Amino acid sequence: MLVYLVKNKDMIITRNLKEEIIEQLKTKELVRIPASEEDYFSVAYTIPFKIEYHENEIVTMGLATYVHEKIIAQLIILFSKVFEEKNEDFDILGSNSGVQIPKFEGGYYMPDVMIVKDEPNFKPNSNCIITNPYLIVEVLSDSTKNFDLSEKLPEYKLLDSLQQVIYINPKKVNVSTYTRTENPNAWLNQDFYSLEDSITVEGENISLADIYRKIRFENR
């Protein structure tokens, strides 16, 4: 287990990894701490907020905002309407379920919403980390936007089962979708900026007006 020695005035304070993460979140919006996969799992189940693992670093932003969670709740309702009439078996999951990226150095992420088609495949010795997501949604924030788009998106595209990734900006009307084409290595990116626009999910339209229902933007 990682142990941190921190100088505080004339004293040396010892902190474990969990304490170090919580302490750094007091002054940082996004915390990145070098750690092993073993270190990650030692705290992943004990911290009450989203914590991810990317290229030998623990990455976390702490608790989500009210608007962030409101959009997620609305999306789950909308997805339920889209998928409930499908003949195939789909499960809609929230952000407490993890995704494993099949790479040597390991990658564990916690999408805000995840849809699994048919039976879920789990990481060995886990019942909460899934390896076959069908659709992933991330609600962006100022602190995680670059990480989500520049670092996580290329990792998500490595998942053979994944067919669509959706990014939602909670501060203004802006939704981006990445949809896998018939060529599995080619993705179609579409960006939407109007409440009158709609995104297509599993052949059904979902309007941005419904996604942002009752959301009040600060600049309006």
Q: In this structure, is residue 220 part of a structural domain?
A: no
Which pLDDT score is estimated for 105? 63
Give residue for tokens 């916690």: 110
Q: What are phi and psi of 172, to 5 degrees?
A: -160, 165
Spell out, as residue ranges, where the chain has pLDDT lower than 50.
Answer: 4-5, 7, 9-14
What global pTM score does this model have? 0.89
Pairing of strands 11-16, 3-8: antiparallel
Which pLDDT score is estimated for 16? 84
Exposed, middle or buried by CB within 10 Å (0-12, 13-18, 19+), for 108?
A: buried
Which of 16, 38, 60 is the C-terminal boundary of a domain? 60
Domain that includes residue 13, residue range? 3-60
Q: What are phi and psi of 43, to 5 degrees?
A: -115, -15
- Contacts of 35-42 with CB under 8 Å at 24 or more apart are 35/2, 37/106, 39/1, 39/2, 40/108, 42/1, 42/17
Give the count of domains, the chain. Answer: 2
Q: In this structure, is residue 217 part of a structural domain?
A: no
**Sign (positive or negative) of CA dihedral 12, 17, 18, 22:** positive
Q: In this structure, is residue 99 part of a structural domain?
A: yes
Does residue 165 share a domain with residue 192?
yes
Residues 52 and 144: their CA atoms lie apart, in Å, by 12
Does residue 172 share a domain with residue 70?
yes
Does residue 126 share a domain with residue 43?
no
Q: In this structure, is residue 131 part of a structural domain?
A: yes
Q: In this structure, is residue 216 part of a structural domain?
A: no
Does residue 33 share a domain with residue 81?
no
Exposed, middle or buried by CB within 10 Å (0-12, 13-18, 19+), for 152?
A: buried
pLDDT in tens, 115-157: 999 999 999 888 989 999 999 999 998 888 999 999 999 999 9
Does residue 165 share a domain with residue 86?
yes
